[in-house]
Amino acid sequence: MLKLLWLVLLVSLACKLFFRRWPWELLGMPHATPELERARALLGVRRDASRTQILEAHKRYIAVVHPDRGGTNDQVYEANAARDLLLRGLTANIPE
């Protein structure tokens, strides 16, 4: 078992050295950054949310935090940034 762990470690390091990416990055496994997780939590969407779901969640959140309804401009900017980040992540995952 220990030999297997060493083999996995060596293969992972070799992959990082030669391809400049970890094996799971080459396999297309998504990794969650803190910014993405924060954006998802702010808008209340799941990891597999579609473009439509992200836009609908953004619209609902903006209706709550809009300055005309007692919110602030900072909250609107934060919501827009979260929407843009999540939508950018969707277009990055589309195969060409």
pLDDT at 33 over 90: no
**In the chain, where the domains are located:** 1-30, 32-96
Helices (DSSP H) in the chain: which residue ranges? 2-19, 23-26, 34-43, 51-65, 73-92
Query: What is the CA 76 to chain-centroid distance, rounded?
Result: 19
Stated length of the chain: 96
Are 54 and 69 in contact, with CB atoms under 8 Å apart?
no
Task: Name, in order, each residue with C-beta under 8 angstroms of 59's C-beta and a sequence gap of 6 or more.
Answer: none
Q: What is the DSSP letter of 67?
A: G
**Which pair of structure tokens corresponds to residue 59?**
């619209």
Give the domain 32-96 fold: Helix Hairpins (1.10.287)
pLDDT tens by residue, 42-55: 999 998 899 999 99
User: pTM, whole model, 2 decimals?
Assistant: 0.64
